[in-house]
Structure 1
Amino acid sequence: MRQGIHFISGLPRSGSTLLAGILRQNPRFHAGMTSPVGSMYRALEQSMSRRNETAVFIDTKQRRDILAGLFTNYYDEVQADKVVFDTNRMWCAKLPAITQLFPTAKVICCVRDVNWIMDSIERLVRRNAFEPSGMFGYESGGTVFSRIGAVATSDGLVGYALDALKDGFFGEQAPAMILLEYEALVTNPNRAMRMVYDFIAEPWFDHDFDNVEYDPGEFDLALGAPGLHAIRRKVEFIPRQTILPPQLFHRYDDDMFWRHPGANRHNVKIISRG
């Protein structure tokens, strides 16, 4: 991690795995799906909080050094000479800490129309019709309405990520973020990635957008959601009709808050479909 670190965050089913697959074509970069660093970071925070009576012996500098050391120790031996991109939905909500630990780090937030995120999740559920998903506690008796409602709650797959994104977008550290819309990435990947490279101040690498590879291994199988992180080799936009009932599909019409007039008060960079 001697070459620096950046973060991938944002909304699920919005291109973060695809983005990692593209970035890892660059031999200078290390990127992947959600890493264990986020959960370890949260555990360290809790263990150093006042819930632990011995935390009185830990000062602010020690807390910062311990948390920074988590990243450097996790990545140093594996990817010593590469720029690291660590992925986790929680990083948007941790901008005040991230910008202090790593002042030059940027957070690339993958975003998408929430209605289509819900559609994508339901498609995955139906594709795995014989295997209850861990996204819903492995329960098999629900309906499309209960499933979408479950992931939309503040502790659900989509709801938490959306709240975290708002946390970062409206906070003082928002300029460290860039929002990358899914449609922008898949319709014109060359343009979108050049804007990402400009934002992170890295020299351009000629990517092969017709041959993107990423193998999630057994992670998706363990979650009971085969195909959750699968990506197509060719980066392209494939139009389709929604499979959600109309009243459900339009339930989240107003959740693309970053497009609302006047919402971007910190002038966060947004890569939208050109």
Structure 2
Amino acid sequence: MRAIHFISGLPRSGSTLLAALLRQNPRFHANMSGPLAGMANVMLGEMSDRNEFSLFITHEQRRRVLRGLFENYYGEEFKAEVIFDTNRMWCAKLPMLCELFPNVKMIACVRHMSWVIDSLERVIRDNALQPSSIFNFQPGGTVYSRAEGVANGEGLVGYAYNALKEAFYGEHAQHLMLLQYETLVREPAKALAAIYDFIGQPMFQHDFDNVHFDADAFDLRAGTPGLHAIRRKVDERQRATVLPPDVFRRFENDAFWLNAQANLRGVRVV
């Protein structure tokens, strides 16, 4: 099977931009979050002991079935030599991925949590006339309830954050690299060079002034136009937060990856 790697981490932290850049390389395939993680989860459940016929499913059969899912999903129509599959769930599935693909690498996109919450809130406000799938298309709520909803353990941000910490502190952390959003937008050449080195692939000359990605149909269906929009040129834009000060302060110390003493596994943070 061709090389397969994974993009995961926090939402609103540059995974779509990273995919748009990686796919400039004709040897690579990368995209926004897709269905493969959910499909793998369903298959794991159906092969568990909740299935009365699980007695007939061996460990090796589970392994073959799950590998077959990846191999067949990225079938002959995908000509790329290197596949990057994106999903926030992958950080929580790193042990499974390492068993299926011993040489797997995972790039986890991270960003200061206050700005993750801010970015989500900004998208909601930009589409004030259109309820979003992020909140199950419910039109009510306030910035406080929305922040609480996405930050709890099962929320869009909270789940991803906990999964990231699980991978960061787990026994398979050598397969993980953290890419800070701030590095990606300020020093994209440095960020890409680190990724190529991490996955052991020859460097490619990327164009940081002409980046393209179109997910308009998906975003419109999700009730959140612009959710995956990226700017043509990679750059950093300073702006004030739209969050109330107390909401912003609540998350401002959550960037655990910046604490070198807490990096017990020596995970590379770019």
TM-score by length of 1: 0.97
5 Å-filtered alignment, 1:23-42, equals 23-42=22-41
Higher mean C-alpha deviation, range 196-205 or range 210-219? 210-219
SS in 2 for 1:50: coil
Cα displacement (A) at 1:108? 0.4
Within a 5 Å distance, the mapping from 1:194-213 to structure 2 comes to 194-213=193-212
Structure 2 distance, partners of 1:11, 1:179, is 10
What is the DSSP-based 3-state SS (H/G/I as helix, E as strand, rest coil) of the residue aligned with 1:42? helix
Matching residue of 1:73: 72
Match of 2:92 in 1: 93
Alignment match, 1:132: 131
Alpha-carbon contact 2:29-2:80 (below 8 Å) kept: no
Alignment partner, residue 165 of structure 1: 164
How many angstroms apart in 2 are the aligned matches of 1:194 and 1:94?
A: 26
| Alpha-carbon distance, 1:82 to partner | 2.2
| Aligned position for 1:190 | 189
1:97 alignment partner AA: M
- The residue correspondences of 1:1-274 to structure 2 (distance < 5 A) are 2-271=1-270
Deviations 1:119-165 (A, max 9, x none): 10010000000001111121112100001110001111100100110
Indicate the SS of the match to 2:262. coil
SS at match of 1:33: coil
In the alignment, residue 130 of structure 1 is paired with which amino acid? L
Q: How far apart, CA to CA, are the structure 1 residues paired with 2:96 and 2:172? A: 10
- Higher mean C-alpha deviation, range 221-230 or range 21-30: 221-230
What's the C-alpha RMSD, in Å, of the aligned pairs? 0.9
TM-score by length of 2: 0.98
- Paired with 1:156 and 1:218, the residues of 2 have a C-alpha distance of 24
SS of residue in 2 equivalent to 1:163: helix
Give the number of equivalent residue pairs. 270
User: Once structures 1 and 2 are overlaid, which stretch shifts more, 49-58 or 24-33?
Assistant: 49-58
Judge conservation of contact 2:5–2:104 (CA < 8 Å) in 1.
yes
Give distance in 2, aligned partners of 1:172 and 1:202: 25
How far off its partner does 1:261 sit? Answer: 4.0
Shift in Å, 1:217: 3.8
Q: Structure 1 residue 227: deviation in Å? A: 0.8
- Give the aligned residue type for 1:175: Q
Q: Once the two structures are superposed, what CA deviation does each residue of 1:81-108 show, in whole Å capped at 9, x if it has no partner?
A: 4210000111111111111111111000
